[in-house]
A and B are shown apart, each in its own frame.
Chain A
């Protein structure tokens, strides 16, 4: 409801998204077939590659910013205490407060894909079920990182290392703008530590190449592993952060 009250911002964000897509469309035209060697596993077309990259990396940005910004916004607006005095669990409150961001991110992905198709990206052979499974796991992984980030904000108010770490490394090492095979072998090791790498790799294979669930199993399996570790860890961290803020009496400090 609150987000919908800022209608102008909503339409502005949608409007400027088109410029973003067009920029990559013309960059792809410039590159042409120059990156064939690296792009072959994804169908060979740079625009299709980068479209999936920027569309789905949005979920990471939403997760990283959404959870921590929700905590900070509620702290600054003064509504956090009023929410935490209700029976609803703090983790549920923080998760639900980012729901709008995820809905908007999903709407944005859909628009990216529609515009991409209009500009020539082929999704004819896409494995939609595989893509949805990867999407679900991606949201769980990225949300867990976001909740970890929010835990830092709950205690330190500003200066969250999780956010800075993933924001600065994921676009470079996660394969958003170029395949990680472009990187030197030792830097690819960093890529393999990021959920983003498996998420985008699997998504591209599912949507652009139509890989079967069996072919997607390595990426899906790795994302399941990340989820199994990150989700409980993040919920525990958030619970600890709320307890620490209650102990220090700093729930509403910002």
Chain B
């Protein structure tokens, strides 16, 4: 597939093989700001921090691609560059065939972003009002926006709480809202930045099942997901990139990566082998029964009573 090839149809078709994301030598260096005191004393500028360092990636259309790395590895910076929220200092990146710097508007039209930041919603507005507002930023006419929001509220199983204020939602409901918002423009590529971070293990598993069944199988989206959860990477992703210190160490399916290392290897061993560091496995699930949509109902998942 040529690097120049553009995938013009935004809605994914679930066909693995076409390029959804491609980066070459992608680099981001943040210059550490100097204080006024340093300027007055003419101290030399500090070295920059490079959370993304010469990243070469190729993500095929219709696959679930995981970036697996510990906190601070640079995963969020990489996602933000691909979503046009941070400009790279070197290299190039294309999403759906569009250059993230020169054609950022086209990139934004064809992607969705799901973050764990609950603050990215208006807490005093209802779930429905939030989605309708963001739909208007996707240039939907109000009637179309209403229909789209209604449909998505059904998809994420939040119709029953659509007219409640966002501040009354539980962590699981907020995360489902974030997914609904990410799907508003029916994007070809959905970026998910640690989507299960704030969820308990059962809820996280429910969400993973939902992503796999509803978003990938039913809707055929390409998913680019960052995670520091080994279990999540293993169960959810078609391919995984081991990411540490801003660099891609190795890319492959979880099975391939483990097999290459020898029988009985785990993904944590793969991480240790390629990064030279131990990976702290935080994802231990169990004990929660998923509902019909795949979301567990206990703990932080159910409808919260009595506000935050």
Q: Is B87 an interface residue (CB 8 A)?
A: yes
Q: Is A128 an interface residue (CB 8 A)?
A: no
Interface centre among A2, A6, A251 (most CB of B within 10 A): A2
Q: Are A78 and B120 in contact (CB under 8 A)?
A: yes
Q: Are B85 and A86 in contact (CB under 8 A)?
A: no
Q: Are B125 and A2 in contact (CB under 8 A)?
A: yes
Q: Are A87 and B139 in contact (CB under 8 A)?
A: yes
Q: Are B86 and A77 in contact (CB under 8 A)?
A: no
Q: Is B141 an interface residue (CB 8 A)?
A: no
User: Please, which residues of chain B bring their CB within 8 A of the CB of A251?
Assistant: 85-86
Q: Is A23 an interface residue (CB 8 A)?
A: no
User: Please, which residues of chain B bring their CB within 8 A of the CB of A249?
Assistant: 28, 30, 77, 80, 86
How long is the Cα–Cα vector from A79 to B89 in the complex, in angstroms? Answer: 25
Q: Is B279 an interface residue (CB 8 A)?
A: no
User: Please, which residues of chain B bring their CB within 8 A of the CB of A243?
Assistant: 87
Q: Are A79 and B119 in contact (CB under 8 A)?
A: yes
How long is the Cα–Cα vector from A5 to B129 in the complex, in angstroms? Answer: 12
Q: Are A77 and B119 in contact (CB under 8 A)?
A: yes
How long is the Cα–Cα vector from A134 to B119 in the complex, in angstroms? Answer: 40
B31, B120, B133: the one contacting A1 at CB < 8 Å is: B133
How long is the Cα–Cα vector from A78 to B174 in the complex, in angstroms? Answer: 14
Q: Are B86 and A85 in contact (CB under 8 A)?
A: no
How long is the Cα–Cα vector from A81 to B137 in the complex, in angstroms? Answer: 12
Q: Is A168 an interface residue (CB 8 A)?
A: no
Known: A1-B125, A1-B129, A78-B120. A246 touches B108 (CB 8 A): no
CB of B297 to closest CB in A, whole Å: 27
B31, B111, B124, B133: the one contacting A5 at CB < 8 Å is: B124
Q: Is A103 an interface residue (CB 8 A)?
A: no
How long is the Cα–Cα vector from A26 to B241 in the complex, in angstroms? Answer: 74
A82, A85, A89, A247: the one contacting B111 at CB < 8 Å is: A85
> Whose C-beta in chain A lies nearest to the C-beta of B110?
A87
CB of A133 to closest CB in B, whole Å: 30
CB of B115 to closest CB in A, whole Å: 8
Q: Are A82 and B120 in contact (CB under 8 A)?
A: yes
CB of A42 to closest CB in B, whole Å: 43
User: Please, which residues of chain A bring their CB within 8 A of the CB of B85?
Assistant: 81, 84-85, 246, 251
Q: Are B124 and A87 in contact (CB under 8 A)?
A: no
Within 8 A of A (CB), among B109-152: 109, 111, 113, 115, 117-122, 124-125, 129, 133-134, 137-139
Q: Please name 18 further chain A to chain B contacts, defined as beta carbons within 8 Å, in addition to the given A86-B138, A86-B185, A87-B108, sorted by A numbering.
A: A1-B129, A5-B124, A5-B125, A82-B115, A82-B121, A82-B134, A83-B134, A83-B137, A85-B84, A87-B109, A87-B137, A88-B137, A88-B138, A89-B105, A246-B85, A246-B87, A247-B89, A251-B86
The 11 listed contacts between A and B (C-beta, < 8 Å) are: A78-B119, A82-B115, A82-B134, A85-B108, A86-B108, A87-B108, A87-B139, A88-B138, A246-B84, A247-B86, A248-B30
Binding site for A on B (CB under 8 A): 28, 30-31, 77, 80, 83-87, 89, 105, 108-109, 111, 113, 115, 117-122, 124-125, 129, 133-134, 137-139, 181, 185
